[in-house]
A = this chain, B = another copy of it.
């Protein structure tokens, strides 16, 4: 599971330790289930550490490991590329779709 949410978690946690609920609020559209699952996978791969504070109410913080911080940096370039070429790709898609679906007009 490379996971469609992993990248966003890496970005959200890049600035330092962050709580479960903060992640949930910070990542648009993620469900609790997917947040938990993705965090577990990242933890399993040694990319995040999970720290449970025995307080009331409970408090769990996630923090990126050094390896994950490196990954975050290289991902940043990908994000930049995506941002720089968003319009180009959107236009390419529109053109392609216009040329390959005109049959629908026959109806």
Contact = CB atoms under 8 A, between A and B. Distances in A.
Interface in A79-107: 81, 85, 88-89, 91-93, 95-97
Interface in A39-93: 43-47, 67, 70-71, 74-75, 77-78, 81, 85, 88-89, 91-93
**Copies per complex?**
2
Interface residues of A, number: 22
B75 A78 contact: yes
A45 B77 contact: no
A45 to B, nearest CB: 5
A78 B81 contact: no
A42 to B, nearest CB: 10
